[in-house]
Protein backbone atom coordinates (compact mmCIF):
# COMPACT_ATOMS: atom_id res chain seq x y z
CA UNK A 1 0.00 0.00 0.00
CA UNK A 2 2.70 2.52 0.92
CA UNK A 3 4.64 1.66 -2.26
CA UNK A 4 1.50 2.37 -4.31
CA UNK A 5 1.10 5.67 -2.45
CA UNK A 6 4.65 6.54 -3.56
CA UNK A 7 3.76 5.73 -7.17
CA UNK A 8 0.74 8.05 -6.96
CA UNK A 9 2.98 10.81 -5.57
CA UNK A 10 5.45 10.23 -8.42
CA UNK A 11 2.62 10.72 -10.93
CA UNK A 12 2.62 14.39 -9.95
CA UNK A 13 6.32 14.72 -10.74
CA UNK A 14 5.88 12.89 -14.04
CA UNK A 15 2.68 14.61 -15.13
CA UNK A 16 4.49 17.66 -16.53
CA UNK A 17 6.75 16.21 -19.29
CA UNK A 18 3.88 14.94 -21.50
CA UNK A 19 2.04 18.25 -20.94
CA UNK A 20 5.08 20.42 -21.65
CA UNK A 21 4.53 20.80 -25.43
CA UNK A 22 0.90 21.81 -24.74
CA UNK A 23 1.85 24.21 -21.95
CA UNK A 24 4.58 25.83 -24.04
CA UNK A 25 1.97 26.68 -26.67
CA UNK A 26 -0.65 27.77 -24.12
CA UNK A 27 1.62 30.03 -22.05
CA UNK A 28 4.40 30.85 -24.59
CA UNK A 29 7.04 29.25 -22.34
CA UNK A 30 10.71 29.40 -23.41
CA UNK A 31 12.95 26.34 -23.32
CA UNK A 32 14.79 27.61 -20.23
CA UNK A 33 11.50 28.38 -18.46
CA UNK A 34 10.37 24.86 -19.32
CA UNK A 35 13.51 23.53 -17.63
CA UNK A 36 12.69 25.41 -14.44
CA UNK A 37 9.05 24.31 -14.61
CA UNK A 38 10.29 20.73 -14.73
CA UNK A 39 12.58 21.20 -11.78
CA UNK A 40 10.54 23.49 -9.48
CA UNK A 41 8.68 20.51 -8.03
CA UNK A 42 12.05 19.64 -6.51
CA UNK A 43 12.48 23.02 -4.79
CA UNK A 44 10.93 21.79 -1.55
CA UNK A 45 13.14 18.72 -1.48
CA UNK A 46 16.22 20.74 -2.32
CA UNK A 47 15.70 23.14 0.58
CA UNK A 48 13.80 21.19 3.25
CA UNK A 49 14.27 17.47 2.59
CA UNK A 50 16.27 16.97 5.77
CA UNK A 51 13.75 18.90 7.90
CA UNK A 52 10.80 17.00 6.46
CA UNK A 53 12.64 13.76 7.22
CA UNK A 54 13.08 14.89 10.81
CA UNK A 55 9.40 15.87 10.97
CA UNK A 56 8.34 12.47 9.63
CA UNK A 57 10.34 10.78 12.38
CA UNK A 58 8.63 13.00 14.95
CA UNK A 59 4.97 13.26 13.89
CA UNK A 60 4.52 9.66 12.76
CA UNK A 61 5.22 7.85 9.51
CA UNK A 62 1.65 7.03 8.46
CA UNK A 63 0.44 10.53 9.36
CA UNK A 64 3.19 12.04 7.21
CA UNK A 65 2.15 9.97 4.18
CA UNK A 66 -1.48 11.04 4.57
CA UNK A 67 -0.49 14.71 4.92
CA UNK A 68 1.57 14.55 1.75
CA UNK A 69 -1.23 12.97 -0.27
CA UNK A 70 -3.62 15.70 0.92
CA UNK A 71 -1.20 18.46 -0.15
CA UNK A 72 -0.71 16.86 -3.58
CA UNK A 73 -4.44 16.53 -4.15
CA UNK A 74 -5.06 20.17 -3.22
CA UNK A 75 -2.18 21.60 -5.26
CA UNK A 76 -3.08 19.59 -8.35
CA UNK A 77 -6.74 20.64 -8.09
CA UNK A 78 -5.71 24.31 -7.89
CA UNK A 79 -3.20 23.85 -10.70
CA UNK A 80 -6.00 23.16 -13.15
CA UNK A 81 -7.14 26.76 -12.62
CA UNK A 82 -3.69 28.31 -13.30
CA UNK A 83 -3.79 31.25 -15.70
CA UNK A 84 -0.10 31.51 -16.51
CA UNK A 85 3.22 29.72 -16.08
CA UNK A 86 4.09 31.61 -12.89
CA UNK A 87 0.99 30.39 -11.05
CA UNK A 88 1.77 26.88 -12.18
CA UNK A 89 5.34 27.23 -10.92
CA UNK A 90 4.19 28.23 -7.42
CA UNK A 91 1.86 25.26 -7.25
CA UNK A 92 4.61 22.94 -8.51
CA UNK A 93 6.65 24.08 -5.53
CA UNK A 94 3.75 23.22 -3.20
CA UNK A 95 3.47 19.80 -4.84
CA UNK A 96 7.12 19.29 -3.99
CA UNK A 97 6.32 19.52 -0.27
CA UNK A 98 3.51 17.01 -0.64
CA UNK A 99 5.78 14.65 -2.53
CA UNK A 100 8.36 14.78 0.28
CA UNK A 101 5.84 14.06 3.02
CA UNK A 102 4.74 10.95 1.12
CA UNK A 103 8.05 9.42 0.07
CA UNK A 104 10.46 10.18 2.92
CA UNK A 105 8.78 8.04 5.60
CA UNK A 106 8.32 4.99 3.37
CA UNK A 107 11.74 3.30 3.90
CA UNK A 108 11.23 3.55 7.67
CA UNK A 109 7.65 2.37 7.28
CA UNK A 110 8.80 -0.61 5.22
CA UNK A 111 11.35 -1.42 7.89
CA UNK A 112 8.53 -1.73 10.43
CA UNK A 113 6.28 -3.75 8.10
CA UNK A 114 8.76 -6.16 6.45
CA UNK A 115 10.93 -8.91 7.92
CA UNK A 116 14.69 -8.15 7.91
CA UNK A 117 15.55 -10.89 5.40
CA UNK A 118 13.07 -9.41 2.87
CA UNK A 119 13.93 -5.76 3.40
CA UNK A 120 16.50 -5.46 0.57
CA UNK A 121 14.00 -6.90 -1.91
CA UNK A 122 11.26 -4.53 -0.79
CA UNK A 123 13.55 -1.51 -0.81
CA UNK A 124 14.57 -2.42 -4.36
CA UNK A 125 10.89 -2.50 -5.26
CA UNK A 126 10.40 0.83 -3.50
CA UNK A 127 13.22 2.29 -5.59
CA UNK A 128 10.99 1.74 -8.64
CA UNK A 129 8.22 4.05 -7.38
CA UNK A 130 9.58 7.03 -9.31
CA UNK A 131 9.99 5.40 -12.74
CA UNK A 132 6.68 3.58 -12.32
CA UNK A 133 4.82 6.81 -11.62
CA UNK A 134 6.65 8.64 -14.38
CA UNK A 135 5.93 5.91 -16.93
CA UNK A 136 2.23 5.86 -16.04
CA UNK A 137 2.07 9.65 -16.33
CA UNK A 138 3.80 9.66 -19.70
CA UNK A 139 1.55 6.90 -21.00
CA UNK A 140 -1.79 8.13 -19.64
CA UNK A 141 -1.24 11.89 -19.81
CA UNK A 142 -1.57 12.31 -23.60
CA UNK A 143 -4.77 10.24 -23.64
CA UNK A 144 -6.39 12.23 -20.83
CA UNK A 145 -5.29 15.55 -22.35
CA UNK A 146 -6.74 14.60 -25.74
CA UNK A 147 -10.14 14.32 -24.04
CA UNK A 148 -10.07 16.86 -21.21
CA UNK A 149 -7.09 19.11 -21.91
CA UNK A 150 -4.14 19.68 -19.61
CA UNK A 151 -6.50 21.03 -16.91
CA UNK A 152 -8.42 17.76 -16.90
CA UNK A 153 -5.12 15.90 -16.51
CA UNK A 154 -4.34 17.94 -13.38
CA UNK A 155 -7.84 17.46 -11.93
CA UNK A 156 -7.94 13.72 -12.61
CA UNK A 157 -4.68 13.24 -10.69
CA UNK A 158 -6.09 15.33 -7.83
CA UNK A 159 -9.09 12.99 -7.61
CA UNK A 160 -6.88 9.89 -7.80
CA UNK A 161 -4.64 11.21 -5.01
CA UNK A 162 -7.58 12.01 -2.76
CA UNK A 163 -8.88 8.47 -3.25
CA UNK A 164 -5.42 7.09 -2.45
CA UNK A 165 -5.32 9.10 0.75
CA UNK A 166 -8.63 7.60 1.93
CA UNK A 167 -7.51 4.10 0.95
CA UNK A 168 -4.23 4.45 2.83
CA UNK A 169 -5.98 5.80 5.92
CA UNK A 170 -8.24 2.75 6.02
CA UNK A 171 -5.66 0.09 5.16
CA UNK A 172 -2.27 1.00 6.71
CA UNK A 173 -2.09 0.49 10.49
CA UNK A 174 -1.33 3.51 12.64
CA UNK A 175 2.16 3.71 14.14
CA UNK A 176 1.03 2.65 17.62
CA UNK A 177 -1.04 -0.21 16.20
CA UNK A 178 1.96 -1.59 14.30
CA UNK A 179 4.15 -1.53 17.41
CA UNK A 180 1.39 -3.14 19.49
CA UNK A 181 1.09 -5.89 16.86
CA UNK A 182 4.75 -6.76 17.28
CA UNK A 183 6.32 -4.86 14.37
CA UNK A 184 9.77 -3.41 14.84
CA UNK A 185 9.48 0.10 16.28
CA UNK A 186 9.50 3.06 13.93
CA UNK A 187 12.68 5.16 14.08
CA UNK A 188 10.78 7.94 15.82
CA UNK A 189 11.74 8.41 19.40
CA UNK A 190 14.56 8.40 21.90
CA UNK A 191 16.86 11.16 20.75
CA UNK A 192 15.62 14.70 20.21
CA UNK A 193 15.40 16.08 16.69
CA UNK A 194 18.59 18.07 17.28
CA UNK A 195 20.46 14.94 18.33
CA UNK A 196 19.19 13.04 15.28
CA UNK A 197 20.20 15.91 13.04
CA UNK A 198 23.69 16.14 14.53
CA UNK A 199 24.18 12.38 14.35
CA UNK A 200 23.08 12.24 10.70
CA UNK A 201 25.18 15.14 9.44
CA UNK A 202 28.30 14.07 11.34
CA UNK A 203 28.31 10.60 9.70
CA UNK A 204 29.89 9.79 6.34
CA UNK A 205 27.18 7.39 5.13
CA UNK A 206 24.32 9.91 4.72
CA UNK A 207 26.59 12.32 2.83
CA UNK A 208 27.82 9.65 0.44
CA UNK A 209 24.42 8.25 -0.49
CA UNK A 210 23.03 11.79 -0.84
CA UNK A 211 25.78 13.02 -3.17
CA UNK A 212 25.59 9.85 -5.25
CA UNK A 213 21.83 10.16 -5.63
CA UNK A 214 22.30 13.74 -6.87
CA UNK A 215 24.67 12.50 -9.59
CA UNK A 216 22.02 10.03 -10.75
CA UNK A 217 18.88 12.16 -10.45
CA UNK A 218 20.33 15.14 -12.31
CA UNK A 219 20.76 12.93 -15.38
CA UNK A 220 17.58 10.89 -15.28
CA UNK A 221 15.18 13.79 -14.80
CA UNK A 222 16.88 15.83 -17.53
CA UNK A 223 16.64 12.99 -20.04
CA UNK A 224 13.08 11.95 -19.16
CA UNK A 225 11.88 15.52 -18.84
CA UNK A 226 12.92 16.63 -22.30
CA UNK A 227 12.38 13.44 -24.31
CA UNK A 228 8.73 14.28 -25.17
CA UNK A 229 9.82 17.71 -26.42
CA UNK A 230 12.71 16.19 -28.40
CA UNK A 231 10.41 13.69 -30.07
CA UNK A 232 7.80 16.40 -30.73
CA UNK A 233 10.47 18.48 -32.48
CA UNK A 234 11.33 15.40 -34.55
CA UNK A 235 7.76 15.26 -35.83
CA UNK A 236 6.21 12.64 -33.55
CA UNK A 237 2.68 13.13 -32.27
CA UNK A 238 2.10 13.94 -28.60
CA UNK A 239 0.77 10.43 -27.98
CA UNK A 240 3.69 8.76 -29.75
CA UNK A 241 6.24 10.92 -27.91
CA UNK A 242 4.54 10.13 -24.61
CA UNK A 243 4.48 6.38 -25.32
CA UNK A 244 8.16 6.30 -26.36
CA UNK A 245 9.19 8.20 -23.24
CA UNK A 246 6.94 6.05 -21.05
CA UNK A 247 8.80 2.95 -22.18
CA UNK A 248 12.11 4.63 -21.30
CA UNK A 249 10.80 5.38 -17.81
CA UNK A 250 9.28 1.91 -17.41
CA UNK A 251 12.50 0.01 -18.13
CA UNK A 252 14.07 1.88 -15.22
CA UNK A 253 11.94 -0.36 -13.01
CA UNK A 254 13.96 -3.36 -14.23
CA UNK A 255 17.14 -1.92 -12.75
CA UNK A 256 15.49 -0.97 -9.46
CA UNK A 257 14.03 -4.42 -8.88
CA UNK A 258 17.21 -6.07 -10.15
CA UNK A 259 19.38 -4.13 -7.70
CA UNK A 260 17.34 -5.44 -4.78
CA UNK A 261 17.80 -9.02 -5.96
CA UNK A 262 21.52 -8.55 -6.56
CA UNK A 263 22.06 -7.09 -3.09
CA UNK A 264 19.91 -9.85 -1.58
CA UNK A 265 22.25 -12.40 -3.21
CA UNK A 266 25.35 -10.75 -1.77
CA UNK A 267 26.63 -8.61 -4.65
CA UNK A 268 28.60 -5.68 -3.23
CA UNK A 269 26.68 -2.38 -3.55
CA UNK A 270 29.58 -0.51 -5.16
CA UNK A 271 29.61 -3.07 -8.00
CA UNK A 272 25.91 -2.39 -8.63
CA UNK A 273 26.62 1.35 -8.68
CA UNK A 274 29.59 0.93 -11.04
CA UNK A 275 27.48 -0.93 -13.59
CA UNK A 276 24.72 1.67 -13.38
CA UNK A 277 26.92 4.72 -13.91
CA UNK A 278 29.00 3.16 -16.71
CA UNK A 279 25.81 2.20 -18.54
CA UNK A 280 24.49 5.76 -18.16
CA UNK A 281 27.64 7.16 -19.76
CA UNK A 282 27.38 4.75 -22.69
CA UNK A 283 23.66 5.39 -23.09
CA UNK A 284 24.02 9.18 -23.06
CA UNK A 285 26.78 9.12 -25.69
CA UNK A 286 24.76 6.76 -27.88
CA UNK A 287 21.55 8.75 -27.52
CA UNK A 288 22.84 12.30 -27.95
CA UNK A 289 26.49 12.17 -29.02
CA UNK A 290 26.14 10.20 -32.26
CA UNK A 291 25.78 12.03 -35.61
CA UNK A 292 22.28 13.00 -36.71
CA UNK A 293 22.56 10.49 -39.53
CA UNK A 294 22.71 7.61 -37.04
CA UNK A 295 19.85 5.16 -36.86
CA UNK A 296 16.89 6.37 -34.82
CA UNK A 297 16.45 2.85 -33.47
CA UNK A 298 20.09 2.80 -32.29
CA UNK A 299 19.70 6.12 -30.50
CA UNK A 300 16.45 5.02 -28.88
CA UNK A 301 18.09 1.77 -27.79
CA UNK A 302 20.83 3.83 -26.12
CA UNK A 303 18.21 5.77 -24.14
CA UNK A 304 16.65 2.47 -23.03
CA UNK A 305 20.11 1.28 -21.95
CA UNK A 306 20.67 4.46 -19.94
CA UNK A 307 17.36 4.11 -18.12
CA UNK A 308 17.30 0.34 -17.55
CA UNK A 309 20.81 -0.03 -16.13
CA UNK A 310 20.65 3.40 -14.48
CA UNK A 311 17.78 1.99 -12.40
CA UNK A 312 20.31 -0.09 -10.51
CA UNK A 313 21.50 3.09 -8.80
CA UNK A 314 18.43 4.27 -6.83
CA UNK A 315 17.55 0.72 -5.82
CA UNK A 316 21.03 0.26 -4.36
CA UNK A 317 21.05 3.69 -2.70
CA UNK A 318 17.75 3.20 -0.86
CA UNK A 319 19.13 -0.02 0.58
CA UNK A 320 22.40 1.68 1.47
CA UNK A 321 20.55 4.55 3.16
CA UNK A 322 18.99 2.09 5.59
CA UNK A 323 22.33 0.33 6.17
CA UNK A 324 24.54 3.42 6.43
CA UNK A 325 22.18 5.52 8.56
CA UNK A 326 24.03 6.15 11.84
CA UNK A 327 21.18 4.62 13.87
CA UNK A 328 17.74 3.08 13.54
CA UNK A 329 16.16 6.35 14.66
CA UNK A 330 17.81 8.30 11.84
CA UNK A 331 16.61 6.32 8.81
CA UNK A 332 13.96 8.85 7.73
CA UNK A 333 16.40 11.68 8.42
CA UNK A 334 19.06 10.00 6.28
CA UNK A 335 16.54 9.39 3.49
CA UNK A 336 15.48 13.04 3.81
CA UNK A 337 19.08 14.16 3.35
CA UNK A 338 19.38 11.84 0.35
CA UNK A 339 16.13 13.20 -1.07
CA UNK A 340 17.39 16.75 -0.56
CA UNK A 341 20.42 16.08 -2.74
CA UNK A 342 18.30 14.10 -5.20
CA UNK A 343 16.05 17.13 -5.52
CA UNK A 344 19.09 19.38 -5.93
CA UNK A 345 20.25 17.21 -8.82
CA UNK A 346 16.80 17.26 -10.41
CA UNK A 347 16.61 21.03 -9.94
CA UNK A 348 20.00 21.73 -11.53
CA UNK A 349 20.04 19.04 -14.23
CA UNK A 350 17.18 20.05 -16.57
CA UNK A 351 18.03 23.78 -16.76
CA UNK A 352 21.73 22.97 -17.27
CA UNK A 353 20.96 20.53 -20.08
CA UNK A 354 18.53 23.06 -21.58
CA UNK A 355 21.21 25.77 -21.41
CA UNK A 356 23.77 23.57 -23.19
CA UNK A 357 21.19 22.69 -25.85
CA UNK A 358 20.34 26.38 -26.33
CA UNK A 359 23.99 27.47 -26.60
CA UNK A 360 25.01 24.69 -29.01
CA UNK A 361 21.82 24.82 -31.05
CA UNK A 362 20.88 21.20 -30.43
CA UNK A 363 21.08 18.22 -28.08
CA UNK A 364 24.36 16.79 -29.43
CA UNK A 365 26.56 18.05 -26.56
CA UNK A 366 24.20 17.43 -23.66
CA UNK A 367 25.88 14.07 -23.01
CA UNK A 368 28.88 15.96 -21.61
CA UNK A 369 26.70 17.20 -18.73
CA UNK A 370 25.29 13.78 -17.89
CA UNK A 371 28.62 12.04 -18.45
CA UNK A 372 30.38 14.33 -16.00
CA UNK A 373 27.79 13.48 -13.36
CA UNK A 374 28.35 9.76 -13.99
CA UNK A 375 32.11 10.10 -13.57
CA UNK A 376 31.57 11.79 -10.22
CA UNK A 377 29.14 9.00 -9.32
CA UNK A 378 31.79 6.36 -10.04
CA UNK A 379 34.23 8.08 -7.69
CA UNK A 380 31.60 8.27 -4.95
CA UNK A 381 30.72 4.59 -5.47
CA UNK A 382 34.33 3.62 -4.80
CA UNK A 383 34.28 5.56 -1.52
CA UNK A 384 30.93 3.99 -0.56
CA UNK A 385 32.44 0.55 -1.10
CA UNK A 386 35.23 1.24 1.40
CA UNK A 387 32.83 2.70 4.00
CA UNK A 388 30.37 -0.16 3.58
CA UNK A 389 33.08 -2.80 4.06
CA UNK A 390 34.21 -1.09 7.28
Domain boundaries, the chain: 2-171+191-389
Q: Which of 27-31, 37-41, 371-375, 386-390 has the highest mean pLDDT?
A: 371-375
d(CA 294, CA 234): 14
pLDDT band with cut points at 50, 70 and 90 for residue 188: very low
d(CA 198, CA 189): 15
Q: Is the pLDDT of residue 186 over 50?
A: no
Q: Is the pLDDT of residue 183 over 60?
A: no
Q: Which of 46-50, 149-153, 363-367 has the highest mean pLDDT?
A: 149-153
Q: Is the pLDDT of residue 192 over 80?
A: no
Q: Is the pLDDT of residue 187 over 70?
A: no
Task: Give me the sign of the Cα torsion angle 233, 236, 242, 243.
Answer: negative
Closest CA to 376 of 173, 213, 262: 213
Q: How confident is the model over 383-387, as a mean pLDDT?
A: 89
pLDDT value, residue 176: 62
1.20.1250.20, 1.10.3720.10, 2.40.30.10, 3.30.70.3270: CATH of 2-171+191-389: 1.20.1250.20
Helix residue ranges, H only, the chain: 2-14, 16-27, 31-39, 43-59, 61-79, 85-103, 106-113, 119-126, 129-171, 175-180, 193-201, 204-233, 238-264, 269-284, 296-310, 312-324, 331-360, 367-389
Q: How confident is the model over 23-37, as a mean pLDDT?
A: 74
pLDDT value, residue 211: 95
- Which tens digits make up the pLDDT trace of 208-260? 999 999 999 888 877 777 777 777 767 777 678 778 888 888 888 898 888 88
Closest CA to 129 of 372, 367, 339: 339
Q: Which of 68-82, 205-219, 220-234, 317-331 has the lowest mean pLDDT?
A: 220-234
Amino acid sequence: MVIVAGVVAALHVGKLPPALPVLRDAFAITLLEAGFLLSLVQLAGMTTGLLVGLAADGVGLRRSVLTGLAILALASALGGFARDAHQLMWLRGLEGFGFLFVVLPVPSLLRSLVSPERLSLRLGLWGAFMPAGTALALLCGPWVMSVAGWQGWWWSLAALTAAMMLWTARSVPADRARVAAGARPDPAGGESWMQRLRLTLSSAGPWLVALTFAMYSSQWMAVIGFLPSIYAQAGYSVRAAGALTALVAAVNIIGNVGSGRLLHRGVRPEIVLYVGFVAMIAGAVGAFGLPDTSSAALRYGAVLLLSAFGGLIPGALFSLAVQLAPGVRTVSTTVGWMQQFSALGQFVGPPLVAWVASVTGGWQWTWTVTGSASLAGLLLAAIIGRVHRR
